[in-house]
Amino acid sequence: MQWFKFYGADYLIDPKMSELSSGERVCWITLLCFAGASENSGKITHVSETHLLRQSGIKENSAEWKDTTGVLKKFLKLGMITHDNGKREREERERKKRSF
């Protein structure tokens, strides 16, 4: 089991957090946990929004589920996460091909 640093004071005073609902905040903490457990330097791969919501304990077909849908787009918009659509992996494969 891996651990990660979490600065509670920063979480509480970050203006981005005040823009999030309680469900979105739970999703944020869940993403941090996924990143902390990743073997790839905190990079999260292959996590759908549905999986994130389920892992965050949000019940399907609930009002909270409906309200939290779109959370990954919101995190992107707020600059909380980045999404490279596998660009780094493709670039690495191309580099390896050229080196042979």
* HEC profile of 25-88: HHHHHHHHHHHHHCCCCCCCCCCCHHHHHHHCCCCCCCHHHHHHCCHHHHHHHCCCCCCCCCHH
Could you give the number of structural domains in the chain?
A: 1
pTM over 0.85: no
- Asked whether the predicted pLDDT for residue 92 surpasses 90, the reply is no
Nearest residue to 16 (alpha-carbon basis) of 57, 82, 77, 83: 77
Q: Is residue 54 part of a domain?
A: yes
- Per-residue pLDDT reduced to its tens digit, 7-19: 999 999 999 999 9
Q: Is residue 4 part of a domain?
A: no
Query: Per residue in 44-64, pLDDT tens?
Result: 888 899 999 999 999 999 999
